[in-house]
Amino acid sequence: MSSLSSLAEEQSCLGVIYGRLDELREQVRGRLAEARLRAGELFQRDATIYAYAERLAQYEAVEEGLCFGRLDLRDGGRLHIGRIGIHDTGEPLLVDWRAPAARPFYVATAISPFGVTVRRHIRTKGRTVVALDDEILDLDAASPGASIVGEAALIAALSANRTGRMRDIVETIQAEQDRVIRAEAGGVLVVQGGPGTGKTAVALHRAAYLLYTYREQLSARGVLIVGPNATFLRYISQVLPSLAETGVLLATMGDLYPGITARHAEAPEVTEIKGRAVMTGLLAAAVRDRQRVPAQPLEIEVDRNVLRLTAGDCEPARRRARDSGLPHNLARPIFVAGVLDVLAAQVADRIGDDPFWDDPLGEDDALTSPNLLGESDRADIRGDLAADPVVTAAIDSLWPVLTPAELLIDLYGVAGALESAASGLLPAAEAVLLRRAPGEDWAPADVPLLDEAAELLGEDNRAAHAAAVRERGRRLAYAQGVLDITAGSKAYELEDDDEAAIPNIADIMQADMLAEHLEEREFRTAAERAAADRNWVFGHVIVDEAQELSPMAWRLLMRRCPSRSMTVVGDLDQSGALGAPASWADVLSPYVADRWRLAELTVSYRTPAEIMDYTERALADADPPIVAPKPVRSTGVEPWEATGTLTALASCVAREIASVDDGRLAVIAPDGLVPALATALPALTTGPSPDLEDRAVLLTVAQAKGLEFDTVVVVDPARILTGSPRGANDLYVALTRPTRRLGVFTVKVDVDES
């Protein structure tokens, strides 16, 4: 190691890199301030200002851990690897971890060194270098089967206290993870891996990699990451900002219908039924049930005359409307036109009747037509009828305009609606479970149904389209204004390296290009633009804990991603949902047949060997058998087991909290036991969306999915195991949450003094 740079030498390299970062920040700050001063109100919304502000935010986000690696190359070159790329007078000081040149940092081995002689992990605290870990990629020194990259840095990262927020892994990405992160963007990639194999971490880093590599294509459309619940999204929310990436929308399924945040908790059996593919047929039937013809003749009083609509009158109109193949609301005008024809004919017959048409003495009577009204009279009658509220109400009772929410509320709440729509699709005993009290909040499983209903009903979006055309015109005019001002103020622009990265927009953009850029900017400043638009199409969709999604949820996601550029991350062995898929092929074949790729992650970074062994023993009888991933480390700390009263449990938990230092602890319990434990363990934070940054939390298994803690106490494992048809999977999830210590406690309620 004597030829390697010393700590002090590395510190001085880091000083140069941070020095350049400071310079860049100052430059951008200066230009931002100058641009704001220069151009008054119009310019304040200009794309240049946006680019500077974005750049500054990026520079601020990478302060911690800016540079974390170095590659010494066989040709004598040397590359520092970091969170972003930094240049000085054209020379690279720091290579972005996502750039192709940085790849050997993650995948080089002694056997395939990719031209690297030494890989160095640089550990820093603030701007100070605190440790260097060097790996000499020398075939003679290679140990057979060695596959861990940067072992010391990795173990340090894995052994650190948890904070309640997930951290990025950019410094220690392993080769099998790197392959997934950098896999090409097109098509569906499934990432299957056991607990703690880094699926979530990999999914987030993949989002950052794709945005870096395909920025042009992806920044306008954005990347959607779907997670299982709001607590989980908070848990992962810091990772992308720490990688200086903001163009990603994080959402749960309950967030994916604009205007609704569906959080109502409902029985698992109800969720399972709502998720079945058969619900598409049931909803279609519910829509057809709202396209009625009158069972008894419908009497409509217009101008003191009674018009009558029979089933026979309406049937042809309904058939024509249905045969059009249009969604319900868009087919309605066809039905309305048919019914108005019928009513107008009745009025015309009444008022246009010539009482003398067959009078042999009448001179001007047409021999063949008994009616005196011409075409324009009939059109007037039709128009009057169409505007008559009584007629409209009658037509509405037969073929109403419906919103998705109205359709579902009526389906769940109006007597007989469910039974009729579910006939032949669901047994009556299951259909009845879907009943919902009026005014009850939406559950996450309602969101795919609302989305499906929106497809079946259709939206009359002519007004929205006209508004979009007007908006585009406004943007163009605005963009032209920005370009005029920019061209006028060109002399003020600074000219050096960094300015080259943000050129004067008047030089490179036409007004229409800038208008488009401004459109993208709206997305970037508010990913909610995508969230607010049901028809938004994402550039790439990443689904985490994908084994939990229902067939109906997949239909929704596929609609949001017609290009099928998707990363699907999950573990079938951890699925807790009733009706969860048996294979990824079952999930994906309806959409992409067999055109999807599978990548497997096999090493568990979270769970130490002692806890993984315990878990495998506890689940030895699971059917189908659970294949646990290989743990990357062992801690020497064996899991403990105890049995006792709630009071005894409280003292065990108190002891564990005392020993967790700055870390985090979770008690994971069967759903039914949580209320009693909340009382017995008042120091624990609990509830539907507990704050994971609190020292100790009480969670159900479903809540704990995807999370991790330094210490975990699992309560009543036997009850978790037998508590649901997927009890073995649930216990697998619960036992694999700790990074260090596991306790397993069985409560003996009968001897509890409370």
* CB of 80 or CB of 664, closer to ligand ATP: 664
Q: Which residue bears the tokens 């190691």?
A: 1
- Contact in structure between 567 and 157 (CB atoms under 8 Å): no
- Report d(CA 124, CA 128) in Å as an integer: 5
- Report d(CA 516, CA 646) in Å as an integer: 62
- Contact in structure between 420 and 289 (CB atoms under 8 Å): yes
Is there a binding annotation on residue 312?
Answer: no
Neighbours of 99 (CB within 10 A): 15
DSSP β-ladder status, 86-88 and 603-604: unpaired
Minimum CB separation of residue 681 from ligand ATP in Å reads: 24
329 touches ligand ATP (CB under 6 A):
no
698 has which bridge partners? 667
Minimum CB separation of residue 200 from ligand ATP in Å reads: 3
- Report d(CA 449, CA 253) in Å as an integer: 11
DSSP 493-519: ---SHHHHHS--HHHH--HHHHHHHHH
Minimum CB separation of residue 538 from ligand ATP in Å reads: 21
Minimum CB separation of residue 132 from ligand ATP in Å reads: 18
DSSP β-ladder status, 128-136 and 540-543: unpaired
Tell me which stretch binds ligand ATP (CB under 6 A): 135-143, 171-179, 551-559, 683-691. 171-179
> Which single residue brings its beta carbon nearest to ligand ATP?
198
Binding to ligand ATP by CB under 6 A, coded x per residue (else -) over 497-536, reads: ----------------------------------------
Minimum CB separation of residue 157 from ligand ATP in Å reads: 4
- Tell how far CA 315 is from the center of its chain: 44
711 touches ligand ATP (CB under 6 A):
no
* CB of 197 or CB of 486, closer to ligand ATP: 197
Is there a binding annotation on residue 383?
Answer: no
* CB of 243 or CB of 347, closer to ligand ATP: 243
Tell me which stretch binds ligand ATP (CB under 6 A): 164-172, 479-487, 524-532, 556-564. 164-172
48 touches ligand ATP (CB under 6 A):
no
Instruction: Please identify which residue in 27, 174, 575, 700 interacts with ligand ATP, judged by CB under 6 A.
Output: 174
Minimum CB separation of residue 156 from ligand ATP in Å reads: 9
Minimum CB separation of residue 168 from ligand ATP in Å reads: 8
Is there a binding annotation on residue 723?
Answer: no
Tell me which stretch binds ligand ATP (CB under 6 A): 165-173, 251-259, 509-517, 526-534. 165-173
Minimum CB separation of residue 251 from ligand ATP in Å reads: 18
- Report d(CA 560, CA 543) in Å as an integer: 12
Residues of this chain, 553-592, that bind ligand ATP according to CB under 6 A: 571, 574
Instruction: Please identify which residue in 53, 136, 157, 511 interacts with ligand ATP, judged by CB under 6 A.
Output: 157
- Contact in structure between 213 and 98 (CB atoms under 8 Å): yes
Q: Break the chain down into helix, strand, coil percent, rounded to 5.
A: 50, 15, 35
Neighbours of 23 (CB within 10 A): 13
Instruction: Please identify which residue in 48, 109, 177, 252 interacts with ligand ATP, judged by CB under 6 A.
Output: 177
193 touches ligand ATP (CB under 6 A):
yes
Q: Which residue bears the tokens 């919902």?
A: 436
Instruction: Please identify which residue in 102, 129, 158, 443 interacts with ligand ATP, judged by CB under 6 A.
Output: 158
* CB of 431 or CB of 667, closer to ligand ATP: 667
Is there a binding annotation on residue 69?
Answer: no
Is there a binding annotation on residue 194?
Answer: yes
- Tell how far CA 115 is from the center of its chain: 39
- Contact in structure between 737 and 710 (CB atoms under 8 Å): no
- Report d(CA 547, CA 190) in Å as an integer: 11
- Report d(CA 328, CA 399) in Å as an integer: 8
81 touches ligand ATP (CB under 6 A):
no
* CB of 318 or CB of 606, closer to ligand ATP: 606
Is there a binding annotation on residue 200?
Answer: yes
Minimum CB separation of residue 234 from ligand ATP in Å reads: 14
- Contact in structure between 182 and 209 (CB atoms under 8 Å): yes
173 touches ligand ATP (CB under 6 A):
yes
* CB of 197 or CB of 329, closer to ligand ATP: 197
Minimum CB separation of residue 711 from ligand ATP in Å reads: 14
Minimum CB separation of residue 261 from ligand ATP in Å reads: 24
* CB of 129 or CB of 201, closer to ligand ATP: 201
- Contact in structure between 591 and 558 (CB atoms under 8 Å): yes
Tell me which stretch binds ligand ATP (CB under 6 A): 108-116, 173-181, 386-394, 643-651. 173-181
- Contact in structure between 647 and 680 (CB atoms under 8 Å): yes
226 touches ligand ATP (CB under 6 A):
no
Neighbours of 52 (CB within 10 A): 22
Tell me which stretch binds ligand ATP (CB under 6 A): 109-117, 168-176, 259-267, 516-524. 168-176
Tell me which stretch binds ligand ATP (CB under 6 A): 118-126, 166-174, 420-428, 639-647. 166-174
Check residue 532 and give left, alpha or beta (phi > 0: left; psi -120 to 50: alpha).
Answer: alpha
* CB of 20 or CB of 167, closer to ligand ATP: 167
Q: φ and ψ at 195, to 5 degrees?
A: -60, 135
- Exposure class string for 688-722: b at 16+ Cβ within 10 A, else e: eebebeeebbbbbbbbbbbbbbbbbbbbbbebbbe
Is there a binding annotation on residue 195?
Answer: yes
178 touches ligand ATP (CB under 6 A):
no
738 touches ligand ATP (CB under 6 A):
no
Cis before 624 (ω within 30): yes
Instruction: Please identify which residue in 5, 48, 58, 172 interacts with ligand ATP, judged by CB under 6 A.
Output: 172
In terms of residues, how long is the chain? 754
Binding to ligand ATP by CB under 6 A, coded x per residue (else -) over 590-629, reads: ---------------xx-----------------------
Indicate the burial class of 351 (C-beta count within 10 angstroms; 0-12, 13-18, 19 or more).
middle
Instruction: Please identify which residue in 62, 84, 86, 169 interacts with ligand ATP, judged by CB under 6 A.
Output: 169
* CB of 47 or CB of 207, closer to ligand ATP: 207
Binding to ligand ATP by CB under 6 A, coded x per residue (else -) over 195-214, reads: xxxxxxx-------------
* CB of 713 or CB of 735, closer to ligand ATP: 735
Indicate the burial class of 151 (C-beta count within 10 angstroms; 0-12, 13-18, 19 or more).
middle
Two structure tokens written together for 637: 């700390």
Indicate the burial class of 558 (C-beta count within 10 angstroms; 0-12, 13-18, 19 or more).
middle
Is there a binding annotation on residue 643?
Answer: no
242 touches ligand ATP (CB under 6 A):
no
- Contact in structure between 92 and 134 (CB atoms under 8 Å): no
Indicate the burial class of 25 (C-beta count within 10 angstroms; 0-12, 13-18, 19 or more).
middle
Give the annotated binding-site residues. 193-200
Contacts with ligand ATP, residue ranges (CB under 6 A): 154, 157-158, 167, 169, 172-174, 177, 193, 195-201, 571, 574, 605-606, 706, 708
Residue stretches of the annotated binding site for ATP: 193-200
